[in-house]
Amino acid sequence: MSDKPQQYYDPYQLIREVGFLLSQNGLDVKDFPEEGKVADALSGACRLLQAYGVTPGMDIRDTFDRRLPPHW
């Protein structure tokens, strides 16, 4: 068993950073994946983080902010 502390990274942040990196390399991409593609992007981001030994996770406040309807 490793004595290293578990590492966490926000998969939504990874999605935003990948989009930025792609646009910086000359590709025409949106700021965030299209409606209906977010689940695919999130799944891919989580799998990539796990492949590096990083646990997908986010600040609990951000989690609640994403679940509340916009009018709240």
Average pLDDT estimate for 28-42: 86
Q: What is the pTM of this model?
A: 0.74
- The mean pLDDT of the chain is 83
Query: What is the per-residue DSSP string for 7-18?
Result: -EE-HHHHHHHH
Residue 72 has pLDDT above 50, yes or no: no
- Mean pLDDT for 14-36 is 90
Is the confidence at residue 66, as pLDDT, over 70? no
Gap between the Cα atoms of 12 and 42, Å rounded: 7
